[in-house]
Amino acid sequence: MNSDKIKLVLPHAKYRAQVQDMVQKIRDAGSRLHGTSFLNRDFDAWLADYKINKHERVEYLVFRQSDKKLIGLLQIRNTPYSPLSNYMAGHVGYSVCIDERGKGYATRMLKMGLELCKTLGIDPVIIKCKAENLASIKVVLKNNGKLNHEETHDGESIKFFHIKV
């Protein structure tokens, strides 16, 4: 696994260009962001959402220290998971820049996310993955995720993993 130092930084307007560039490249490649729904709309809505909801969910920008490149986004959702709620997100969401995938960054980002969850008293951490998202499932398994159950929503199979922290 690569050992380039990465650090988590809170959202700020000064990162607009880097965030927009990352999002555009992900879109151009036909991929998408997960756990960052407002960012799928636009940067200002995303920043406003962060300011309003930061006690419920915090989005971190993940920078590589050596060249200060934005390599991904990590979201921690400090909201109790309720199987009865329509909000089916898990506790952690992550996305990596197209040209930085396959280098072990998401595995390390989830590890950092688990540490943050631990400080918030979230245990077990629930992670939700589409059954077809093999890369994300691998990331979860490498962080000791255990398959808890599987559900079908709108014809899509979703796997729910639990990770003890």
Are the C-beta atoms of 126 and 79 separated by less than 8 Å?
no
- The distance of closest approach from Cβ of residue 107 to ligand COA in the complex, given in angstroms and rounded to an integer, is 3
Question: 126 - beta bridge partners?
Answer: 162
As measured in angstroms, the least distance from the Cβ of 52 to ligand COA is 23
Smallest distance from ligand COA to CB 73, Å: 9
The footprint of ligand COA (CB under 6 A) covers 31, 34, 94-96, 101-107, 129, 133-136, 138-139
Q: Could you give the CA distance from residue 163 to residue 165 in angstroms, rounded to a whole number?
A: 6
CB of 21 to ligand COA, least distance (A): 15
Measured in whole angstroms, how far is the alpha carbon of residue 8 from the centre of its chain?
Answer: 12
Task: Round to whole Å and give the CA distance between 67 and 111.
Answer: 22
The smaller minimum CB distance to ligand COA, of residues 13 and 39, is found at 39
- 23: tokens are 């999002």
When the beta carbons of 47 and 140 are compared against ligand COA, the nearer one is: 140
Dihedral sign of CA atoms 1, 101, 68, 143 in order: negative
**Quick one: 79 or 133, whose CB is closer to ligand COA?**
133
